[in-house]
Amino acid sequence: LSARAHDVVVVGAGPAGEVAAGKLAERGLDVALVERELVGGECSFFACMPSKALLRPGDLAAETRRVPGVSDAAVEAIAALRRRDEVIHDLDDAGQLPWVEKRGIALVRGRARLAGERRVVVDGAGPDGGPLALEARRAVVLATGSDAAIPPLEGLREARPWTNREVTTAQQVPPRLLILGGGVVAVEMADAWARYGSAVTIVERSARLIEHEEERASAAVGAALRRRGVEIRCGSEVTAARREDDGTAVLVLGDGAELRGEELLVATGRVPRTAGLGLETAGLEGGGAIEVDDRLRVGGRDWLYAIGDVNGRALLTHEGKYQARILADAIAGRDRALREDGAPPPRVIFTDPAVAAVGHTLASARRAGLSVTAVDGRVDQVAGASFWGKGEDAFARWIVDDARRVLVGATFVAPDAQELVHAATVALVGEVTVDRLAHAVPSFPTRSEVWLQLADWADATRPAA
């Protein structure tokens, strides 16, 4: 068995692993980065990047229809899919390699597994095509990401469903697309493919789409999807699936109804990639997410860390990259911890309208036992909205902690709301009081003036002196 030593061995070159390796190398550490597939991970090739590339043309076309004075634009599927392929570099990671090389990171291609304390074995990476053992003088970082969950429904696996991988890289528009699940991936992909002409049906067990967001956000996204022809069946249980001889995919519902499509997307959540990772060799159990403390350490060990989707904290690229920066500091000797509860990462659903939120919704704040007031504003009624067109259900909500008078949550629902939420993240992390926020004056005429509206209305809820 050939072997070599590095200061740190990072397993998985998705956004979390790449940033960790980069930051550690920039601090002068000798880093090996192991990747079994594509440098850039799920995000660059099968998730964030292609999904946003698929959504953007439809958003722009819709905007031209809302704003008088521009001739209506239409989406062109062939050109849009070609542009999506450019964004994912035709599934070739060569473009990512100069970044890795420039930092002197040793890239090791192959599937890695833990083999005891500070030791990783990479199959097929040895000089003779055999295994390569990597000793980590300081630490091993697990950043292996997550896979699409396939629920254990009768016939589902045999029906060859699409996961995020196929739906984001498809080369043809399926005439009919069935979607199992009603969360973020489901609504984004329904929006994208409906606009390229697919007849999309969403089947969701819960009473509403994107159920962790504000009810009004679910309603606005649902209404927009319906306007684009998407059929939405919430409160419906799928009991079985099958693929017929002619290739048609079928979903069987609890009431016996059957839905048919050329393709069937499973979008029912993610499972952490820990299978075959050798966790047991470090005395850990496999199965669920790898639990970490606020310094990303696994089980308090000073040599083992887990970042990104695999630790299950918040399955978002910017969160994985944030954890990677904290981790690099921790390993390089600067003691920093993850931010405390109450300042979680923002989450954006890139539908049209987009839903961009940070922190609590009213329901989650109440579940957490907080005494809060919801303050609602209308993004479509501030002057800046005049230039964004008409007829959008665009609104904002702050969740204000009654005792501390600070924001503990904010939601924006509007076209391009993703660009409105960062100010709320700053306000949450900075624990700025709403009374102080009244002095943060947004420019006229921008849609950010909804902040002023919310601050005025929050002022009206100020407890009497």
> Of 77, 78, 73, nearest to 60 (Cα)?
73
In the complex, the smallest distance separating the C-beta of residue 220 from ligand FAD, rounded to whole angstroms, is 19
The stretch near ligand FAD (CB under 6 A) out of 28-36, 215-223, 228-236, 448-456 is 28-36
CA 315/CA 295 separation, integer angstroms: 17
Kindly write out the interface string for residues 74-113 of this chain, putting x where it contacts ligand FAD by CB under 6 A and - elsewhere.
-------------------------------------xx-
Among residues 7, 8, 9, 14, which is the contact residue for ligand FAD, using CB under 6 A?
14
Classified as helix, coil or strand, 408 is strand
Taking the least distance from each CB to ligand FAD, the nearer of 52 and 195 is 52
- Is residue 169 close enough to count as binding ligand FAD by CB under 6 A? no
CA 332/CA 319 separation, integer angstroms: 20
In the complex, the smallest distance separating the C-beta of residue 453 from ligand FAD, rounded to whole angstroms, is 28
CA 304/CA 351 separation, integer angstroms: 38
Taking the least distance from each CB to ligand FAD, the nearer of 48 and 327 is 48
Among residues 164, 218, 236, 453, which is the contact residue for ligand FAD, using CB under 6 A?
164
The stretch near ligand FAD (CB under 6 A) out of 200-208, 234-242, 304-312, 373-381 is 304-312
Classified as helix, coil or strand, 241 is strand
Among residues 318, 339, 378, 436, which is the contact residue for ligand FAD, using CB under 6 A?
318
User: What are the residues facing 54 on neighbouring strands?
Assistant: none
With beta carbons less than 8 A apart as the criterion, state whether 143 and 17 touch: yes
> Of 453, 348, 317, nearest to 397 (Cα)?
453
Write the DSSP assignment of 32-60 as a string of letters: EEEESS-TTHHHHHHSHHHHHHHHHHHHH
Among residues 174, 320, 344, 415, which is the contact residue for ligand FAD, using CB under 6 A?
320
Q: Angle at which helices 48-66 and 77-87 pack, to 10 degrees?
A: 140
3-class SS string, 302-355: CCEEECHHHHCCCCCHHHHHHHHHHHHHHHCCCCCCCCCCCCCCCEEECCCCEE
- Residue 402, both tokens: 């009654």
Among residues 185, 238, 251, 385, which is the contact residue for ligand FAD, using CB under 6 A?
185
Among residues 59, 309, 380, 392, which is the contact residue for ligand FAD, using CB under 6 A?
309
Residues touching ligand FAD: how many (CB under 6 A)? 38
CA 295/CA 336 separation, integer angstroms: 7
In the complex, the smallest distance separating the C-beta of residue 233 from ligand FAD, rounded to whole angstroms, is 21
In the complex, the smallest distance separating the C-beta of residue 436 from ligand FAD, rounded to whole angstroms, is 29
- Is residue 59 close enough to count as binding ligand FAD by CB under 6 A? no
In the complex, the smallest distance separating the C-beta of residue 46 from ligand FAD, rounded to whole angstroms, is 7
Interface positions with ligand FAD (CB under 6 A): 11-17, 34-38, 41-43, 47-48, 51-52, 111-112, 143-146, 164, 168, 185, 273, 277, 308-310, 315-318, 320
